[in-house]
Amino acid sequence: MLRFLDAGESHGKALMAIIDGVPSNAEIDIDFINNELIRRQNGYGRGKRMQIEKDRVEIWSGIRGTKTTGNPITMVIFNKDYENWAKVLNGNTGENEKITIPRPGHGDMVGYFKYKTGDIRDVIERTSARETAIRTAVGALCKCILVSIGVDIRSKVMNIGGIEDDNVDLFDNEAYLRIENSSVRCYNEHVENMIKYEIDKCKQQGDTVGGSIFISVRGVPLGIGSYIQWDRKLDAILSYALMSVQGIKAIEFGKGTDLAKRGTTFNDEILCNKGEIIRPTNNCGGIEAGVSNGQNIEITVYMKPIPTIKKSIRSVDLKNNDNVVNRYERSDVCGVVPASIVLENVCAFEILKEILNTYPADDIITLKKYIEK
């Protein structure tokens, strides 16, 4: 079983993960993983933190040369900003410097009451989206393996602030190159300019903005996942993982929210052409009854506006129950663009895990033989 735990705090010494269950002899490209981290740091609407960090992963175990050994893999990303926060994180702060005013929409209040450390700083350090850097690294390692067995995961921004981009085939390489070169990861240049204007406007107003992301996965074999038990359904597993990413509030598979469709127009017909099963449409998003059906897995993910805002909204000082306004913590104006990269890599881990659950293999050679059959 493929699994991992990650640890570390936003301004701590490092983020780290231990991944167990990766097949041996898989070729891992560290430059590819680091490039995924660069992709995550890019994007219009990012804050000053990204000017400090230049994320690169170190591998401390489980890979010899460029190949996995089957041993647990340890990944580490050091935080450069730790130098500026060492005093705070080592507890060298007075009672008056403890944070007791929660940001509405963040984990501040619930964490304060749940863990009772008396300082929201302890909540901020772990709930921060900085944690997604190490999750991106874990997923990028899984992407290396998925590519070798013919699975490709791509994404684009669909909407920011109500401004909708064009629907395009993400596996049209020319179209995807255009998306990759866009600072907001959309296809239409006019839409890109409109989105950038919206982000700039929010920044000037001390506000933030959310949006939606489209993910398409090509090459997942038919039969991944299961309808036998509720917790083995592939769409349920992907939903669980995607919803765990900071700021994600809703998920749609295929055209699942198209309420205008009826059964005759929504359900994807099954045809046979020269002995090959084909599907003229993909309204179900490549998953039926919790099992992959061989079509592209298509998901739209919705992200709320970041809750850290400069503009004042009402909150409470939890120390003395006074009504106050929110406090500001350094943040992005829009997190949709980097979230698209994070979500790609979150999908990569879950899909590889489910492929290995269907085709158990301790080495990559055996896995490839299973897939090719």
Annotated binding site: 40, 46, 126-128, 246-247, 289, 304-308, 330
User: And the tokens for 60?
Assistant: 């401390």
Q: Per the annotation, where are the binding residues for NADP(+)?
A: 40, 46
Q: Name the residue among 3, 68, 22 with its Cα closest to residue 361.
A: 22
Phi/psi of residue 130, nearest 5 degrees: -55, -30
Asked if residue 269 lies in contact with residue 279, where contact means CB atoms within 8 angstroms, the answer is: yes
Longest Cα–Cα distance in the chain: 76
Q: Per the annotation, where are the binding residues for FMN?
A: 126-128, 246-247, 289, 304-308, 330
Give dist(CA 276, CA 287) in Å, integer.
Answer: 19
Torsion sign, CA atoms 162, 168, 172, 174: negative
Q: Name the residue among 31, 34, 32, 19 with its Cα closest to residue 70.
A: 19
DSSP summary character for residue 173:
H
- How many Cβ atoms from other residues are within 10 Å of residue 94's Cβ? 6
Residue 345 vs residues 101, 134, 183, 217: alpha-carbon distances, Å: 33, 10, 19, 11
Give dist(CA 281, CA 297) in Å, integer.
Answer: 12
Give dist(CA 137, CA 58) in Å, integer.
Answer: 10
200-204-205-210 Cα dihedral, nearest 10 degrees: 30
Mark out the alpha helices in 27-172 (DSSP H runs): 30-41, 49-52, 82-89, 108-115, 121-127, 132-148
Give dist(CA 95, CA 230) in Å, integer.
Answer: 48
Residue 68 vs residues 27, 36, 39, 349, 360: alpha-carbon distances, Å: 7, 19, 24, 16, 16
DSSP code per residue over 289-302 = TTEE-SSPEEEEEE
